[in-house]
Amino acid sequence: MSTIALATTPVTITAPGQNAVREQTSVLPDNRLSYTAFAAAYLLGHGAAALSHGADPVLDLPGWLPTGLLATGLVGGTTASIIASTRAQRGAAAAVVLTGKLIGLAWAVGFTALFLAITGITRTLAVPHLQSLL
């Protein structure tokens, strides 16, 4: 009987794209500014709306001011988020950047669809105050 000795060498198999993830430098975005802007937008915009509406309003504010405060904060928060995510994508692999862009696009499409659905329901039912409720 003869014995055959086989030389075994370890084989490493990596999944496609796994090396790209390893090459990425781990940079987490600093979202404090965007969170602060969104919080201020909701507190000031919705707070001003709550204080200036009703039978006996606490503050006598023009109707455009609460909406303007909310819109200004939302634009500021969105801008800060875009800047933070752009900085975090520097040096990242193409697959990671594409994933981030697709997630951002999904959020934008989702909120646009929500806006259109609420507007459509409000106009179909002819109840203008329903839009504020939704």
Write out 85-122 in H/E/C secondary structure. Answer: HHHHCCCCCHHHHHHHHHHHHHHHHHHHHHHHHHHHHH
Compute the distance between CA of residue 72 and CA of residue 89 in angstroms, rounded to an integer: 26
pLDDT in tens, the chain (134 residues): 555 555 555 656 666 655 554 554 556 778 889 999 999 999 999 899 888 887 788 888 888 888 999 999 999 999 998 888 888 888 888 888 888 889 989 999 999 999 999 989 988 888 878 877 77
> Can you give the pLDDT at residue 79?
93
| Residue 52 belongs to some domain of the structure | yes
Per the domain annotation, does 119 fall within a domain?
yes
CB atoms within 10 A of CB 18: 10
Q: What is the pTM of this model?
A: 0.60
**Which of 42, 119, 102 lies closest to 74, judged by CA?**
42
Quick check: is 98 in a domain?
yes
Task: Answer yes or no: do 84 and 133 share one domain.
Answer: no
Domain that holds residue 78: 29-88
84 and 100 in a single domain? The answer is no
Q: Are residues 36 and 58 in the same domain?
A: yes
CA–CA gap between residue 68 and residue 71 (Å, rounded): 5
Q: Same domain, yes or no, for 79 and 115?
A: no
Residues 59 and 100 in one domain: no
